[in-house]
Amino acid sequence: MRTETAPTPPETVRLADYTPPAWLVESVRLDVDLAPSATRVRARIAFYRNPGHGRERPDLRLDGRSLTFVSATVDGRDVAADLAHDREGLTLPAAALPGDAFQWDCTVEIDPAANTALEGLYLSNAMFCTQCEAEGFRKIAYYPDRPDVMAPFHVRIEAEREACPVLLSNGNPGEVGDLGGGRHFAEWLDPHPKPAYLFALVAGQLVAHEDSFTTASGQEVALKLWVRPGDEGKCAYAMDALKRSMRWDETEYGLEYDLDIFQIVAVDDFNMGAMENKGLNVFNSKYVLASPETATDRDYELIEGIVAHEYFHNWTGNRITCRDWFQLCLKEGLTVFRDQQFSADQRSAPVQRIGDVKALRGRQFPEDQGPLAHPVRPEHYVEINNFYTATVYEKGAEVIRMLHTLVGAEGYRKALDLYFERHDGQACTIEQFRQCFEDATGRVLDQFALWWSQAGTPRLKLAEVWDAPTGTLTVRLTQHTPPTPGQDEKHALVLPIVLAGVAPGGGEAIPERLIELSTPETELRFEGLSERPVLSLLRGFSAPVVVEREITPEQRAVLLAHDADPFNRWEAGRGLSVAVALDRVRQGTRIPDLWTEAMARMLADDSLDPAFRALALDVPGDDEIAREIAGQGGLADPNAIHAALSEMREHLGSRLSADLNATYTAMRVEGPYSPDAESAGRRALANRCLALLAATRDRTAFELADAQLQRADNMSETLPALASLTYYDAPSAERHLDAFHERWKGDALVIDKWLSVQATAPLGRTLATVDRLTRHPSFNWKNPNKFRALIGAFAMGNPVAFHAGDGSGYRFVTEWLLRLDAHNPQTAARLAGCFESWRRYTPERQEAMQAALTQMREAADLSKNTREMVERMLGA
Ligand code: TRP
Ligand code: ZN
């Protein structure tokens, strides 16, 4: 065997450098012999020349990382001596290849027990599991680990029967049998060609919650949800969500499931939410397990959405996959849009839309307006795992939503039908997707396509001139996208703008219309109006932009009271609250009655969905105000922001106390817990009332929370009461926290909530509390959920403590990120994003955050993942 220091691959991967694979795979046979620290993997791969790849026979290049090479043959001939190994894989020179098709047979050994990165094959609570997206399969076998190489897989797993009675992989079950000596095997056949990133293997002591589904064409599908013994009672909701997703994809998209079995496995140690491996989804247990006592309404909602998301990937992602990782939004943006549609159908569409936009503004806008800004389809990366971002997912979904708006529901369906018909079984690009829209609808999308390539949040400016004598409203709309790193020049985008005019006393003075703004500027004129209407702009948030407009509190009040578009009603209330907060932070302006009264009317308006009212009564978040201040050229002081928002909450709590108490009582849900949207909405409103009352720190409010904790038989009522008491430092908080821990110390997911409540409390002593909790027996920093629940919640959900003026919050988080980085780079790099907005804050904070980033950059052995994030954040 020759071992060479082959040239290290270029640091930066570029879309422009894409070349098709030289060798394609006809079929894969994988034999996995499981043992915790010495697993043997034998891969038998039938390769053939890619006919589209030029004339000369190319070398065979295979990816491989942390693999111990054992042997390799080509058509049975030992080729070990011909191989050139390097850190990223191996090369077999063309001269050693017999022809245009051959069989490669290679055995390696791997060490799952030592795999702390949770990528490739690893152990979680003695259970073997895999995570291969994006580039984890190369840690299992030498392989062309790129999504445009698709193949059918035949997998045989062998293991000790006692440690691993259950052996799972993708596809349909094949032979099983006993091997003597306490060992057994199982085979799995996946007939659908798939890229390696969709491979999965799970083995361990698991029990199945079973059900079945009959597809529209009458195929019976076995459904199995695998969990650890003891968790069987927490599977019903995820299973129900799965069946509803399967039906919904049939009725709304005409897409049926395509194997005899569909399985989900819940895993405790997982870097992200869930993974769509073909026929064998692997989930973070947080997004599967739910019982009324342990999961909140929000947990149920997330489980439903994520189960749907992963299931929908079966068509958008698996049957049609990505040509390369630059096309990630092809599967993620589209699949997020589909899961949002699903949730909107299953629950309240306006409430869903408001939640989606809040998430977009909360996570994607900061990204798009800061040092990490990148296009929905990035053009280069160092570490692809750093590009599973809010921009690719959430803005990617907004791009699909805009297409839907522009071509209409029917055109959209025609385009998607064509996409599935034309590209089933292929690895595609955004251009091919776009072509389907053009061909199906006849619409040219050249300019629209900028949404995929141009980074940054566009700003849409609205200027109005009202001419009373003629009853004419002239509206000028201007768009402008500020520069982002590496993209100084911005072009005008196609903005679908849904607008209407609302008469001051109610009613539509200007009927709703869709305007397509594709130039930098346009002017609209509305004539013959008897009075000046208030423009309801960007209904349903029809484009992901920041709106700049002059609007008076009175005009906002009109929209809040009368806008027929529920999203814009909520938006008007939000705008009002943001304006109050900004005035209070900047000039100490007293809280205007107009706002209090508007909130009071919302609270009391029984014609409105309680879930909607709960959202409308929510005072903006600290981050949102910080972003507004920075967006207007100022610097944010987290203490001042927090003080203003606390005063607003306290103000509502005391001024509206009678109404809040009344609504609190009226919203009480009797009878056994049910996670349905209506009861969840009532609970959300009741809990909002409770939180506002607690903000007064009044004894009676605390007693209300105490009582709720006493009587609650479900987590949706328990957790918010505990949070209110903790955040406002109620005398009983400590006692309740202790009791909660005592009651739930055996349930890891509930303990995560206990950690998060304490980590997000806006109290002076919180850093000390969090530091103490890092040494608590219930904490385990090596588990990603636990790390996120404590350190992540502190960094991302506790602005006052994280941004403490003395820099203590930054130092604490930095130290922990460095420790995590050595163990699990993917999760560390993701959490390092808590520093992305450093340029927003006051000079001394900027300096301290910059120092934290610099400290990380200088750290010895910093992972490539975190290094890329840190350097981008520093603007290097
Ligand atoms: N494809 C997954 C999804 O969106 C997400 C994913 C990417 C992932 N990489 C991962 C999940 C690593 C877990 C671990 O559904
Ligand atoms: Zn996804």
Instruction: Determine the straight-line distance between the first and last CA of the chain, rounded to whole angstroms.
Output: 41
Closest Cα to atom 9 of ligand 1: 133
Of the candidates 378, 22, 341, 327, which has an alpha carbon nearest to the alpha carbon of residue 197? 327
Q: How many angstroms separate the alpha carbon of residue 336 from the centre of ligand 2?
A: 7
* Average pLDDT rounded to a whole number, residues 55-62: 91
CA of 394 relative to ligand 1 center, distance in Å: 14
How close is the Cα of 477 to the center of ligand 1, in Å? 39
Ligand lying closest to the C-alpha of residue 275:
1
Average pLDDT over residues 433-455: 98
**DSSP per position, 550-586:** ---HHHHHHHHHH-SSHHHHHHHHHHHHHHHHHHHHH
* C-beta 135 within 6 A of ligand 1: no
* Ligand 1 pocket: which of 121, 133, 199, 245 to mutate (most atoms within 8 A of CB): 133
Residue 2's pLDDT band (cuts 50, 70, 90): very low
Mean pLDDT in the chain?
A: 97
| Cα 385 → chain centroid | 13
Question: Would you name the residues annotated as active-site residues?
Answer: 310
pLDDT value for 53: 80
Q: Are 112 and 37 in contact (CB under 8 A)?
A: yes
Give the ligand at the shortest distance from the Cα of 335.
Answer: 2
At residue 55, the pLDDT reads 74
pLDDT in tens, 534-565: 999 999 999 999 999 999 999 999 999 999 99
* pLDDT attached to residue 453: 98
pLDDT at residue 54 in the model: 76
Q: Is 868 in the pocket of ligand 1 (CB under 6 A)?
A: no
Phi and psi torsions of 263, nearest 5°: -125, 150
- Per DSSP, the three-state class of 394 is helix
Looking at residue 876, its pLDDT comes to 64
Share of the chain above pLDDT 70, in %: 99
**133-187 tens-digit pLDDT:** 999 999 999 999 999 999 999 999 999 999 999 999 999 999 999 999 999 999 9
Ligand 1, residue 272: give the atom nearest the CA: 13
Strand stretches in 400-442, DSSP E:
427-428
Pocket lining: 133 vs ligand 1, CB cutoff 6 Å: yes
Query: DSSP characters for 46-115?
Result: EEEE-TTS-SSPPPEEEE-SS-EEEEEEETTEE-GGG-EEETTEEEE-GGG--SSEEEEEEEEEE-GGG-
Estimate the share of the chain in helix, then strand, then coil, as percent rounded to the nearest 5: 45, 20, 30
**For residues 729 and 415, what is the distance between their CA atoms, to the nearest angstrom?**
55
**DSSP H stretches of helix in 254-395:** 297-312, 328-346, 349-359, 365-368, 390
In this predicted structure, the answer to whether residue 189 has a pLDDT above a threshold of 90 is: yes
pLDDT at residue 407 is higher than 60: yes
Distance 592 CA to ligand 1 centre (A): 46
What digits encode the pLDDT tens for the residues 482-521?
A: 999 999 999 999 999 999 999 999 999 999 999 999 999 9
Residue percentage of the chain with pLDDT more than 90: 98
CA of 265 to the centre of ligand 1 (A): 14
224-238: average pLDDT:
98
CB 195, CB 321: distance < 8 Å? yes
pLDDT at 52: 80
pLDDT at 3: 47
Six-digit token string for 109: 């050994």
Beta bridge partners of 159: 184
User: For 708-726, how does the pLDDT look when each residue is reduced to its tens digit (9 = 90+)?
Assistant: 999 999 999 999 999 999 9
For ligand 1, say whether the CB of 276 is within 6 Å of any of its atoms: yes
pLDDT band, very low/low/confident/very high, at 23 (cuts 50, 70, 90): very high
| Residues 6 or more apart whose Cβ sits within 8 Å of residue 251 | none
- Cβ of residue 119 lying under 6 Å from some atom of ligand 1: no
Q: Is the pLDDT of residue 5 over 90?
A: no
Q: Are 816 and 795 contacting, i.e. CB atoms less than 8 angstroms apart?
A: no
748 has a pLDDT exceeding 60: yes
Q: Which ligand is nearest to the CA of 388?
A: 1
Q: Which residue has the higher pLDDT, 11 or 838?
A: 838
Count the Cβ atoms, other than its own, within 10 Å of residue 805: 14
Does residue 322's CB lie within 6 angstroms of at least one atom of ligand 1?
A: no
Euclidean distance between CA atoms 82 and 753, whole angstroms: 55
Give the pLDDT confidence of 361-371 residue by residue, as tens digits.
999 999 999 99
